[in-house]
Chains A and B, each alone.
Chain A
Amino acid sequence: MNEYPSGSLDHSVPFLLTLGTRTGSAYDFGLSAALKEQAVLIRSDLPPLESDQARALLRYIQDRDASQLPCNAREMAARKYRFRVKAVERSLLLPPRHAPLPEGIEAPSPSPSTVLHSPYSPLSPISPLYPDGLIDTQWLRKHQELVPSVLLCFYTLVSDTTLATLCDNQIKTDVNNIRALLSQSGNKTRLAVVLLSDHVPSASFGEGIQERLETIRRGCGLDSKALFLVPSSDSQEELERVAENMLTTLYAVAIEYYRDLGRHSRKKRGRGIAPQPTVPPTSGTSQTLSLAGWNVRYDFKSAVFAEYRLEMDVALRSYEQAYENLLSSELMELIPSWSPRWNEARFLADVIAVRCLRSLLWSGQHSSAARRWQVHRERIADFVDRRGRGTNNYGWEAWEARWAVVMADLIDKADIQDLGPATLKLFLPPEKSVMGERLQPWELLHHTGYWHRLAAKHLQARKALAHAIPEDDRRSPSASPASHVAKSAFAYDTYMCPDPYEEFPLGRPGVDHGQLIVDRLMRARSEFLRRRQTRFAAEVSLECARELALAENWPNIVSLLRPIWKDLPFRSEGWIAIAEELNWALRTAAAEVGDAELLLLTSWELLSRDFTRRPGWHYDISRALEDVDLTPKPIVSIRDGQLQAFVSASFLFMKDEGRAGQSVRGQLSVVSNTHSESAPVVLSSIYLSFKGSLDGVVLRHQAKGPAIQQSQGKAILSSVPLTRQVDADAQAEPAESDETSTGVTLVGSSDLTLLPGRTLVLDMEIPLREPGETLAESLTLNVETELFGLRQSLAFQEAKNARLWYLSPSTTKHVAHPRPLAVRVLPRPPKMEVRCPVWKEQYYADEPISLKFEVENGEDVEALAKLDVLLFGEKPPSFTVEIPGQEDQTSFSVRSEETRLSGVSMGSIASSKSLAIGLRLPPIQRSSRYDLTLKVTYFLPTNPGTPISQTAVFQLKVVNPFEANYDLLPRVHRDPWPSLFDPEGIAPPSTAEGDSIPLPPKGISQAWTLIARYASFASEPLRVKDVDITIQPQPTAFRCTSTKCTELPASGAGRLVKPKTIQEAAFDLAAQKLTVDDRSHAHLDVSLLIKWTRVDTNDQTTSNITTLPIPRFTLFGTEPRVLASVSYHRRRRGATTIPTTPLIALTIMIENASNHFLTFGLAMEPSDQFAFSGPKQTTLNLLPVSRRSVEYRLLPLDAPPTPTEGKEEEGGGWWIRPGLVVRDKYFQKVLKVIPASEGVRGGKDGFEVWVPRRMVFGNAGQGEDQEE
């Protein structure tokens, strides 16, 4: 807007001029020299007021100046008046109403044709518009700055009564004088007087004052509204109140003034004729302004006066009318483009358009304003294209830029609240009147940032066009041939912009386009930033930087782009192209500025292959700092994610679990993603940082290091041996690694050259020290050269971490465990080993158990060890521990189920030596199960504070080696029973009580056979040395003797009993009551004793004895028994023994152990199985305590033809069933026949007798060989 002449575009505000106060500086009216001569001087004769009150009032009025107020209706509603205020001391110059006749023209003859006109009118030859101009800024300035609507004169109202009249008269004179001068000037400026009272108001004074005022008013011929009194008062509020009242009143007067003027111009337009100039034009075309031109002039004037009155819609209408007429075919179309009037008309069109826009913005029609803006541009473009010099030159672009700036300024001026930065709105919604229409997006009024940017865009175009001007035109006209000048004069649009030889002169700087563009862009940028459009602002900054680069203003580029490059998320969000642009721009600027750090950072980032390759660029970080002064040596650190790093790294632990003291393998892969042509980057060191027990790993570059490198395809695999950092290094390293070294740092070296596109895989064996979790956290790559130091940090992320384990450079495998960055470190495993070389699956009851253990020290150093032994189970026995060189120690029982021995010192065990310890347990009685826990706690001299323990648990299983069952079979006692009547059997009366001499037993006797079947339940064969029984306790009522009939070898070596085989042992028992009188039954308690040893034991002398208690037997019942026994006799026929069935002697013995006389009937039924001899039917009487036997001889018939009758049994024989019934005659009860020898067995239907097919003698039956 500043490019337009001052006053041309300003908002028209009523002009108030004060007269008669002392001001600091004189008001310059700026009248042109020609007019100054003619100007009317208005002078006040009174001295200017200098009182404080007058100054305060003036200051207040000046403060209320409205010329800079925002142009909108909202602001107006809050104010009652609006003035543009200027102050003069005593005199003012007013332009003459009529222009004088130009010199050289004779004095006006009184002919009516010579009419003098205003000097601003195209009718007056003095005016620059003469003869055919339309209207210019002079006229606007006349009303805005020269001719006030109200002239406010300050006077003192003297309170001193002696001087009052004199002074009042002076005032009257002065006012009348001014009035006369005003009317002489021809202006209708309203006159107003303000009187400042110089005395404290009092009642008496107050009365007189009204009269005085009235006198002055009348004397001056003033309206009642034009005289004001300011009472003398110290109160600022009072002054303000009076001033407000005064200004409000004066405003109405001023509006009336402008209304009169407006009416006047409308009247003139209404005349409908073009006035004749004072003197007909003699120069140029001698063409005068047409009627259409006059109409434009009048419309424009009415519009301006309406604007003074703030009747904006009226003003808009008039402006539009003027605009349409101006651009109509009658006016501008007719003006030739070479004429200066052409540009004047363009200028007028601009002015009208601007004033239209302001009116629209005033009433809040924002979209209409934007549209109006576009319409004007298009109309002018069309016009310039058709009639002017076209739109394809720098002049047009300059105008376009200016036009955008004008709009921006207007928007600023209108101070639209809805578009303020605080609202964060970018554009306004369309107003109601255009709501439903199809709107261009640009017609929604955007904030000024967009307009400034648009201006910048056109300025760039202007620059491009300016730079395209051919050299001939750029020469100054004085140096060019005239023909050229003439030609170029029509080729360029120079409306409001310099000629081509000024725009872009040859050999010297012309218009600084770059600066113009940058100014606009910076304005736009600040607007965008205020509305948090950071990305848009960045875009603008980039454009700006491009311009600055052309101007080689490098430091500004750095300061402009660096924050964007640093803070904006373009690269992290993936707007690579933008980041790339920024980088190159910054890199270039940094190189010029010599900012080594920035240069390093941008060069480092530009290595990434994500960016497009710039051909011819060296892509070598070591050459990044060429041509830059390097003092001091630059060192930069780059955070992870700060830059688009071309390296990425991942780390893997091979296993997710490890043990302290052991080591775990880890692989670090560093991928270089640079352009393939770029130079290899040599990392000086890599620092791997861990969380947990491990502090870090430092890998240093060493071109021919100890690491073994394999390279194939895209990967380079090297395994790096790590050593623990030596102390001498410890001081140097932390400074490099930024870590406060509390843990362990490991050092290794390898070739750390990053080749483009390759993956550097570093395989490491990482020792683990402390239990807990060790997590690979981050990585720092250091590039250290003579010129610079660069440190790039990379953080490992589980999600981004590649899970490939390089087995070889070409083969990978996927690591499955979920967190490959972490390894769980379990506590250090004890290396002390406790083992039992001979541990048996089973141990047996009744066997003393002796266990041997070995404690082996697998540690590298000797260990001081202690032993805890715990035996846990049901009623565990106490045990004894034997340690060589120590006393045996016996355990004590803690609870009923626990026996322990604690803290047995084992002394120190040398490394890789073992110590044998023994553990003895006494024989355990029953089968049971124990847990034997051996815990070795030891300390290493290297770490005496930490106890390490190793625990071994053994299951001690104790089983009974044997189980047995028993049969007690009755037998017939050989000895005769004692007779009740035999005196020898009578026991002698005991001589004395407690007679200890045992008497030979005299009572009845019985015989039994005890058959014990025992089986080994051991898991291995055992050697049974002897089987025996003991009668325990010895019975008192009878005497019992036993005879062992076992088939164990007599040698004493015993027999090997295999597991789960049943062995039989038979014992004959003979029992005899002590006295015959004793007939009560008696109990027999017997235990089976098995003497055995393990097969593998060497010790054959001692044997274990397992005692198996046999259930209690009851002997000597009083019931009668029938015992059947058989004996076999060989039959002979002739001299030879015929192998045939034997003759069987069956003896039935009936025992009556009772005190009764009993009678039994025996009946033998005949059978077809055998023949028998003996009583078929007989009766036996038995005395008390006696027994009798009956004998039968049985001759079995030949072997049954079919095995159905009398089943054939193995061993060659069969059973026959004699039908013998023994019946108690008295009780009529059949007695059961009890088998009492081999060859007889009890059956379901009676007893059965064995008939051997072949007679075997000697081992069965009691019969003797007899000859038939």
Chain B
Amino acid sequence: MATAIPSIACIGVIGRNNNPLHTSIFPSYDPSTNSYRPVRTPLQFSLILSSTLDVFELRSRQNAAAGVGLTGDFGLLHAVDDRLAAYGFETNTGTRFVVIVDMRGRRIDGTVAAGLADGRDSKRIAGAAAGLREGEMRPVFKAMQTAYIRLMQNPFFEPDEHSPPAGHGGKKITSRKFAGDMRRIGENWMPGVTNL
């Protein structure tokens, strides 16, 4: 029996000025054609990413009122619909990482699941299919932050160019290494992965 498990459909990095810095889109499994392709168009992903900004704003207001949320992990921002859900993280400098998870983005064949041999693994995967635990996106954000820090350590990377301290907009991140990191994170993550 084939089981759908969550996978990352899109990774977005949004700058301090609410400007998109980076977007990576990943294909999801489409059962009707039995192939992998992005579940939305880039424009739709762009809209979804930008709509998370509303949630960031709401949540940071609530966090400020409640005096919590120091870690920067915003957890689930919202479920866009019954399939896609957006998770968010904010760094100290106001850069935001958004991961859009497709809850049915990847297929695991029953045979594959069985092939994973011992019962613990198959159980883990079966459990994974049901949903996500609260901290399950944390490794993703950790890996993204590590990649972002590596990007910042590049002496040729000018952060102010990407998020001008006063003003609007900013350039996108063009680093191929960073894009490669994002791709690796997006492709390798699956529920239960603790290290990327």
Chain A residues in contact with chain B, CB under 8 A? 374, 424, 426-427, 437-444, 446, 450, 453-454, 457, 531-536, 538-539, 542, 569-570, 572-575, 577-578, 581, 641, 799
Of the listed residues A441, A532, A569, the one surrounded by the most CB atoms of chain B closer than 10 A to its CB is A441
The reply to whether A442 and B46 contact each other, CB–CB distance below 8 Å, is: no
Instruction: Give the Cβ gap from B169 to chain A, nearest Cβ, in Å.
Output: 4
A sample of 11 inter-chain contacts (CB < 8 A) reads A424-B62, A440-B85, A450-B79, A450-B81, A532-B54, A532-B57, A535-B50, A536-B51, A574-B20, A574-B172, A581-B43
**Residues in B whose Cβ lies below 8 Å from that of A641:** 168
Q: Among A442, A457, A533, A799, which residue has its beta carbon within 8 angstroms of that of B54?
A: A533
- Is B53 an interface residue when CB atoms closer than 8 A count as contact? yes
The reply to whether B78 and A450 contact each other, CB–CB distance below 8 Å, is: yes
Q: Among A440, A539, A574, which residue has its beta carbon within 8 angstroms of that of B132?
A: A440
Given contacts A534-B54, A577-B46, list 12 more A-B pairs with CB under 8 A: A438-B130, A438-B191, A440-B103, A443-B131, A531-B58, A535-B47, A535-B51, A538-B47, A573-B17, A573-B20, A577-B42, A578-B43
Complex Cα spacing A531 to B131, Å: 26
Of the listed residues B54, B82, B169, B172, the one surrounded by the most CB atoms of chain A closer than 10 A to its CB is B82
**Residues in B whose Cβ lies below 8 Å from that of A444:** 76, 79
Of the listed residues B18, B43, B50, B55, the one surrounded by the most CB atoms of chain A closer than 10 A to its CB is B50
- Decide yes or no: A533 and B132 within 8 Å by CB, A441-B101, A444-B76, A575-B50 being known contacts: no
**Residues in A whose Cβ lies below 8 Å from that of B78:** 426-427, 441, 446, 450
Complex Cα spacing A912 to B164, Å: 56
- Decide yes or no: A573 and B130 within 8 Å by CB, A426-B55, A534-B54, A535-B50 being known contacts: no
The reply to whether B103 and A442 contact each other, CB–CB distance below 8 Å, is: yes
- Decide yes or no: A572 and B51 within 8 Å by CB, A424-B58, A440-B131, A577-B42 being known contacts: no
Q: Among B48, B50, B57, B127, which residue has its beta carbon within 8 angstroms of that of A570?
A: B50
**Residues in A whose Cβ lies below 8 Å from that of B95:** none
The reply to whether B82 and A533 contact each other, CB–CB distance below 8 Å, is: no
The reply to whether A578 and B46 contact each other, CB–CB distance below 8 Å, is: yes
Complex Cα spacing A539 to B191, Å: 29
Number of B interface residues at 8 Å Cβ cutoff, please give it: 42
Instruction: Give the Cβ gap from A533 to chain B, nearest Cβ, in Å.
Output: 4
- Is B105 an interface residue when CB atoms closer than 8 A count as contact? no
- Decide yes or no: A574 and B19 within 8 Å by CB, A454-B81, A454-B82 being known contacts: yes
Cβ-closest chain A residue relative to B77? A426
- Is B167 an interface residue when CB atoms closer than 8 A count as contact? yes
- Decide yes or no: A532 and B58 within 8 Å by CB, A426-B78, A454-B82 being known contacts: yes
Q: Across chains A and B, which 3 residue pairs bring their CB atoms closest together, nearest first?
A: A441-B85, A441-B79, A536-B51
- Is B128 an interface residue when CB atoms closer than 8 A count as contact? yes
The reply to whether B130 and A437 contact each other, CB–CB distance below 8 Å, is: yes
Chain B residues in contact with chain A, CB under 8 A? 17-20, 42-43, 46-48, 50-51, 53-55, 57-58, 61-62, 76-83, 85, 101, 103, 127-128, 130-133, 164, 167-170, 172, 191
Complex Cα spacing A533 to B79, Å: 13
Complex Cα spacing A1226 to B8, Å: 134
The reply to whether B169 and A572 contact each other, CB–CB distance below 8 Å, is: yes
Instruction: Give the Cβ gap from A615 to chain B, nearest Cβ, in Å.
Output: 17
The reply to whether A427 and B79 contact each other, CB–CB distance below 8 Å, is: yes
The reply to whether B46 and A441 contact each other, CB–CB distance below 8 Å, is: no
Instruction: Give the Cβ gap from A249 to chain B, nearest Cβ, in Å.
Output: 46
The reply to whether A441 and B130 contact each other, CB–CB distance below 8 Å, is: no
Cβ-closest chain B residue relative to A528? B54
**Residues in A whose Cβ lies below 8 Å from that of B18:** 569, 573
Complex Cα spacing A542 to B43, Å: 11
Instruction: Give the Cβ gap from B69 to chain A, nearest Cβ, in Å.
Output: 14
The reply to whether B131 and A533 contact each other, CB–CB distance below 8 Å, is: no
Cβ-closest chain B residue relative to A423? B62
Cβ-closest chain B residue relative to A457? B81
The reply to whether A535 and B81 contact each other, CB–CB distance below 8 Å, is: no
Complex Cα spacing A578 to B19, Å: 12
Q: Among B77, B81, B131, which residue has its beta carbon within 8 angstroms of that of A438?
A: B131
The reply to whether B103 and A426 contact each other, CB–CB distance below 8 Å, is: no
Instruction: Give the Cβ gap from B57 to chain A, nearest Cβ, in Å.
Output: 8
**Residues in A whose Cβ lies below 8 Å from that of B46:** 575, 577-578
**Residues in B whose Cβ lies below 8 Å from that of A572:** 168-169
Instruction: Give the Cβ gap from B49 to chain A, nearest Cβ, in Å.
Output: 8
Of the listed residues B19, B78, B164, the one surrounded by the most CB atoms of chain A closer than 10 A to its CB is B78
The reply to whether A535 and B53 contact each other, CB–CB distance below 8 Å, is: yes
Q: Among A532, A539, A581, A799, which residue has its beta carbon within 8 angstroms of that of B164?
A: A799
Complex Cα spacing A641 to B57, Å: 23
The reply to whether A574 and B79 contact each other, CB–CB distance below 8 Å, is: no
Of the listed residues A450, A535, A641, the one surrounded by the most CB atoms of chain B closer than 10 A to its CB is A535
**Residues in A whose Cβ lies below 8 Å from that of B19:** 573-575
Cβ-closest chain A residue relative to B128? A438
Complex Cα spacing A534 to B56, Å: 12
Complex Cα spacing A427 to B101, Å: 17
**Residues in B whose Cβ lies below 8 Å from that of A426:** 55, 58, 77-78
The reply to whether A578 and B47 contact each other, CB–CB distance below 8 Å, is: yes
The reply to whether A439 and B132 contact each other, CB–CB distance below 8 Å, is: yes
Instruction: Give the Cβ gap from A233 to chain B, nearest Cβ, in Å.
Output: 51
Complex Cα spacing A641 to B167, Å: 11
The reply to whether B85 and A442 contact each other, CB–CB distance below 8 Å, is: yes
**Residues in A whose Cβ lies below 8 Å from that of B83:** 442
Cβ-closest chain B residue relative to A427? B78
Cβ-closest chain B residue relative to A572? B168
Instruction: Give the Cβ gap from B190 to chain A, nearest Cβ, in Å.
Output: 13
Complex Cα spacing A534 to B53, Å: 9
Complex Cα spacing A504 to B185, Å: 46
Complex Cα spacing A581 to B43, Å: 8
**Residues in A whose Cβ lies below 8 Å from that of B82:** 374, 440, 442, 454
Complex Cα spacing A536 to B57, Å: 12
Complex Cα spacing A534 to B76, Å: 19
The reply to whether A438 and B133 contact each other, CB–CB distance below 8 Å, is: yes
- Decide yes or no: A441 and B103 within 8 Å by CB, A426-B58, A533-B54 being known contacts: yes
**Residues in B whose Cβ lies below 8 Å from that of A437:** 130-131
Instruction: Give the Cβ gap from A384 to chain B, nearest Cβ, in Å.
Output: 16
Cβ-closest chain A residue relative to B132? A438
Complex Cα spacing A542 to B44, Å: 10
Of the listed residues B19, B54, B191, the one surrounded by the most CB atoms of chain A closer than 10 A to its CB is B54
Complex Cα spacing A1240 to B161, Å: 96
**Residues in A whose Cβ lies below 8 Å from that of B101:** 441
**Residues in A whose Cβ lies below 8 Å from that of B48:** 539
Instruction: Give the Cβ gap from B105 to chain A, nearest Cβ, in Å.
Output: 13
Instruction: Give the Cβ gap from B58 to chain A, nearest Cβ, in Å.
Output: 5
The reply to whether B54 and A440 contact each other, CB–CB distance below 8 Å, is: no
Cβ-closest chain B residue relative to A374? B82
**Residues in A whose Cβ lies below 8 Å from that of B42:** 577
**Residues in A whose Cβ lies below 8 Å from that of B50:** 535, 539, 570, 573, 575, 578
Instruction: Give the Cβ gap from A365 to chain B, nearest Cβ, in Å.
Output: 16
Complex Cα spacing A469 to B169, Å: 47
Cβ-closest chain B residue relative to A436? B133
Complex Cα spacing A569 to B76, Å: 24
**Residues in B whose Cβ lies below 8 Å from that of A577:** 42-43, 46
Cβ-closest chain B residue relative to A371? B131
Instruction: Give the Cβ gap from B184 to chain A, nearest Cβ, in Å.
Output: 24
**Residues in A whose Cβ lies below 8 Å from that of B47:** 535, 538-539, 542, 578
Cβ-closest chain B residue relative to A424? B58
Instruction: Give the Cβ gap from B176 to chain A, nearest Cβ, in Å.
Output: 20
Instruction: Give the Cβ gap from B73 to chain A, nearest Cβ, in Å.
Output: 15
**Residues in A whose Cβ lies below 8 Å from that of B167:** 799
Instruction: Give the Cβ gap from A400 to chain B, nearest Cβ, in Å.
Output: 10
Instruction: Give the Cβ gap from B117 to chain A, nearest Cβ, in Å.
Output: 22
**Residues in B whose Cβ lies below 8 Å from that of A536:** 51, 54
Instruction: Give the Cβ gap from A262 to chain B, nearest Cβ, in Å.
Output: 36
Instruction: Give the Cβ gap from B167 to chain A, nearest Cβ, in Å.
Output: 7
**Residues in B whose Cβ lies below 8 Å from that of A453:** 81
The reply to whether B76 and A441 contact each other, CB–CB distance below 8 Å, is: yes
Cβ-closest chain A residue relative to B18? A573
Cβ-closest chain A residue relative to B53? A535
Complex Cα spacing A444 to B87, Å: 13
